[in-house]
Amino acid sequence: MNEQLAYTIEVFANGLMAGVLYALVALGFVLIYKASGIFNYAQGVMALFAAMTLVGIQNGQVPFAHLINAIFGTDVHKFGWHVHSFLAIALTVLVMIALAWMVQRFVFRHLVGQEPIILFMATIGLAYFLEGVADLMWGSELKALNVCASEGACLPQGMNVWLEGTTYEALGYGFFIDNLDIVASIVAVILVAGLVIFAQYTKQGRAMRAVADDHQAALSVGVSLNFIWVLVWSLAGFVALVAGIMWGAKSGVQFSLSLIALKALPVLMLGGFTSIPGAIVGGLIIGVGEKLFEFLIGAPFLGGATENWFAYMLALLFLVFRPQGLFGEKIIERV
């Protein structure tokens, strides 16, 4: 098999995997946008916050330890216990639900009926606020994150040896794919399937879709808007936690984790803000597109690191021709 072609296919496959991770973040955006019309810029910071909380709980860190030490002159850092990963995840989910309730109660309840762009700017403020709180709570240093079911049974790291061996024997070229990416893809598929089932077949899911369709009509048949919004923010928090675990296990938990929100934005523009399949397809297109562009054009001709802007340019060009994205609802303007 042609070496160059095989390598291109490998880049393609890696792009698909990266795209799945983008889609995972984009999913959180779509959930909130559909139900409340809020474009939640803070989604990336929520992923960071969730991942930091998870690590903090796992390691038994005292929340706000630095601040407490600075104010009271004490010297506390850790409780001195380690929490099992699953329990820690459950606790983090509780924290994210509490966060969702607070965001709804103290911020967006007061902004109902405002213009979308005002809501968007409020979420930028929320992103800064959450980032500051996360740093104050758990400290801003780089942390390693791993989720273990039991001793030695953690999320796999490194590349998949089996796949490389098999493809080498079959095709004469060993494909190099991260174990973690494979796990992330599987998790993403399960998550999406779960969300779709939840939205289609449960009572709360139906209420959620009703709210997304028409706020007033949903209110008039007795759906509690407040509850649905808290529910949606909690779901987005949960998706953020999953994304945070995957990205955090891959490259450590640090500030740059919150920048994945910026990666998810072009995905949304491409796929449309209101469509779950759009988020997935958009994520895959962006993931594959930027890896292939970097490999075929960026690195040889443009000096590399084109991944920073390629997705945006692609989305920008795309939007000029189709302003609502691939799967978005048609934008109809009335005076």
218 contact partners, CB below 8 Å, separation of at least 6? 207, 210, 211, 225, 228
In the complex, minimum distance from the CB of residue 331 to another protein, in angstroms, rounded to a whole number: 8
CB-nearer residue toward another protein: 3 or 115: 115
CA distance 192 to 190: 6
CB-nearer residue toward another protein: 138 or 175: 138
In the complex, minimum distance from the CB of residue 165 to another protein, in angstroms, rounded to a whole number: 38
Asked if residue 8 lies in contact with residue 300, where contact means CB atoms within 8 angstroms, the answer is no
In the complex, minimum distance from the CB of residue 141 to another protein, in angstroms, rounded to a whole number: 9
CB-nearer residue toward another protein: 16 or 127: 127
In the complex, minimum distance from the CB of residue 275 to another protein, in angstroms, rounded to a whole number: 14
CB-nearer residue toward another protein: 126 or 180: 126
CA distance 210 to 223: 8
In the complex, minimum distance from the CB of residue 287 to another protein, in angstroms, rounded to a whole number: 17
In the complex, minimum distance from the CB of residue 232 to another protein, in angstroms, rounded to a whole number: 18
CB-nearer residue toward another protein: 35 or 249: 35
CA distance 129 to 171: 52
CA distance 25 to 267: 9
CA distance 295 to 152: 36
In the complex, minimum distance from the CB of residue 333 to another protein, in angstroms, rounded to a whole number: 6
CA distance 192 to 133: 30
Q: Give how far Cα 283 sits from Cα of 21, 68, 154, 197, Å.
A: 8, 42, 27, 21
CB-nearer residue toward another protein: 87 or 316: 316
Count the Cβ atoms, other than its own, within 10 Å of residue 181. Answer: 20
In which element (H, E) is residue 132 found?
A: helix 116-138
CB-nearer residue toward another protein: 118 or 217: 118
Instruction: Kindly list the residues in this chain that would bind another protein in the complex (CB under 8 A).
Output: 39, 66-67, 70-71, 107, 110-111, 114, 116-118, 120-122, 124-133, 135-136, 140, 262, 265-266, 268-269, 302-306, 308-309, 312-313, 315-316, 319-320, 323, 333, 335
CB-nearer residue toward another protein: 153 or 316: 316
User: Which pair of structure tokens corresponds to residue 324?
Assistant: 């609502």
In the complex, minimum distance from the CB of residue 139 to another protein, in angstroms, rounded to a whole number: 9
Torsion of CA 232, 237, 243, 247, to 10 degrees: 160
In the complex, minimum distance from the CB of residue 43 to another protein, in angstroms, rounded to a whole number: 13
SS3 (DSSP) at 150:
strand
113: region left, alpha or beta (phi > 0 left; psi from -120 to 50 alpha): left
CA distance 159 to 145: 18
CB-nearer residue toward another protein: 197 or 297: 297
